[in-house]
């Protein structure tokens, strides 16, 4: 099962809004694999997800590059924001307890997920970010299983 959707955003506010929609539709166990170059909008989307869950305001969400995983537990469901940029392998990701979190009670977003793809559960929603202009982005969504397919169907028009 693999659904797909592409959306063009024309600034950070629109990318935040897509994230909010994901956060509002998310269910426990959903995993977002965020892929794209530096500055392509991965953290902006994560900020929107946190707001959509009611877990944190966008200004309070930062890329967890040096802590690897930041937890936001005050929302409708927990939000776990990973940054795999500094990791070298799935073993590095697993060493921080990712398996329990990714299969747990919240929504997980993994920035730089292409650095540790083996650590992701088979069912995840892949989101590729492409810079198309100074503030414009193309986000391409691909579901990788039934749970991510349901999340995508709830978000895509």
Mean predicted lDDT score pLDDT of the chain: 90
pLDDT, average across residues 85-106: 77
Region for 112 from its dihedrals, namely left if φ exceeds 0, alpha if ψ lies in -120 to 50, beta otherwise: left
Predicted local confidence at residue 62, as pLDDT: 78
Please give the Cα distance from 14 to 31 (Å, whole number).
21
For residue 44 the two structure tokens come to 């902006």
DSSP H/E element including 83: strand 79-83
CB 51 within 8 A of CB 74: no
Helix (H, G, I), strand (E, B) or coil at 41: coil
pLDDT, average across residues 36-65: 89
CA-CA-CA-CA torsion sign (86, 43, 69, 117) = negative
Share of the chain above pLDDT 70, in %: 96
- DSSP, res 77: S
Q: What is the CATH number of the domain that holds 148?
A: 3.40.50.300
Predicted local confidence at residue 1, as pLDDT: 42
Least confident of 69-78, 86-95, 110-119: 86-95
Residue 53 has pLDDT above 70, yes or no: yes
Predicted local confidence at residue 59, as pLDDT: 82
Structural domain for 48, as ranges = 4-9+11-155
Exposure on the CB side of residue 31, measured as CA atoms within 13 A? 24
Predicted local confidence at residue 36, as pLDDT: 96
Share of the chain above pLDDT 90, in %: 66
Helix (H, G, I), strand (E, B) or coil at 137: strand
The winner for highest mean pLDDT among 83-87, 96-100, 150-154 is 150-154
Number of domains in the chain: 1
DSSP H/E element including 32: strand 31-35
pLDDT, average across residues 4-26: 97
């Amino acid at each position: 099962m693999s659904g797909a959707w592409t959306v063009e955003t024309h600034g950070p506010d629109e990318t935040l809004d897509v994230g909010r929609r994901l956060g509002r539709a998310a269910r426990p166990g959903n995993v977002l694999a965020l892929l794209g170059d530096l500055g392509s909008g991965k953290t902006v989307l994560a900020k929107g997800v946190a707001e959509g869950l009611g877990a944190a305001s966008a200004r309070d969400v930062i890329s967890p590059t040096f802590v690897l995983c930041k937890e936001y537990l005050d929302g409708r469901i927990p939000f776990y924001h990973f940054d795999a940029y500094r990791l070298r392998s799935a073993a590095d990701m697993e060493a921080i307890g990712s398996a329990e979190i990714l299969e747990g009670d919240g929504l997980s977003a993994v920035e730089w997920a292409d650095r540790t793809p083996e650590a992701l559960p088979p069912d995840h929603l892949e989101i590729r970010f492409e810079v198309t202009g100074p503030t414009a982005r193309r986000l391409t969504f691909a579901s990788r299983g039934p749970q991510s397919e349901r999340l995508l169907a709830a978000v895509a028009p």
